[in-house]
Structure 1
Amino acid sequence: MGVMLRSKGFIIGNCNYLILRRHDKMEELSVDIERKVGALLDAGYYSNKSEVIKNAVISLFRENAELNVAVAIELYMKGEVSLSKAAEIAGVTTIEFKEILGKRGFTREIEARPAEEMDAKLRKYL
């Protein structure tokens, strides 16, 4: 027998049954999406599934600005994009992106040349 789940004192149901029902819902959703994609292809809106997926992902990012920020942070933290490129991906200014990083607890490490080297270059140009 499966585990019973409780929420605010009420028994929700058998855990195994809930997982099975959730799995069925996911399968129903997958079948529904496949059917819709097939209809779009049959109607000539798209020539292949890749185009449908590409358009869906573009729409997803257009409708959910937070996803753009999450992607920008992830790419920046991996070192795959610069700070300014990450800000562009997030749809904010570089200063705003720095603030977002700070609010989320990220710190930036800045590499600098030794002061003596920088002073020597400055004297060279003055």
Structure 2
Amino acid sequence: MDDARLSAREQRVLAEIEEQLDRDEPLARHLRTMRRGPRLRLPSLSGNRHRLPALGVTALGTLTLALLVLAVATETPVLIWLFAASWVLTLVALLGLLVRWSRRRAAGSRRTE
């Protein structure tokens, strides 16, 4: 870019704007941290909001294990298919828990830095 210079008036106006911005403490803090505004949190229906998905995966895993035992013992095709479906659901739910846990852990490590 060419050496474009500001006129004296433009420099004075720019200095006034910078001075006004420096006096705005919330803006200065926001610009220093460069974070978004506060995150809105929905009120939880129960205090155990983080434990509910884990309990669901545990129950699904128990159901899957029971279906496995029954499918092996009886060799019924319906039970085998039910076991296969519940096994897939269990793995998907477990993966969701793992992703949620890793995001929470990453967010916690960013806050401590």
On whether the aligned pair clears a TM of 0.5, the verdict is no
TM-score (norm 2): 0.29
Higher strand share: 1
Higher helix share: 2
TM-score (norm 1): 0.27
Larger radius of gyration: 2
Higher relative contact order (CA 8 A, sep 6+): 2
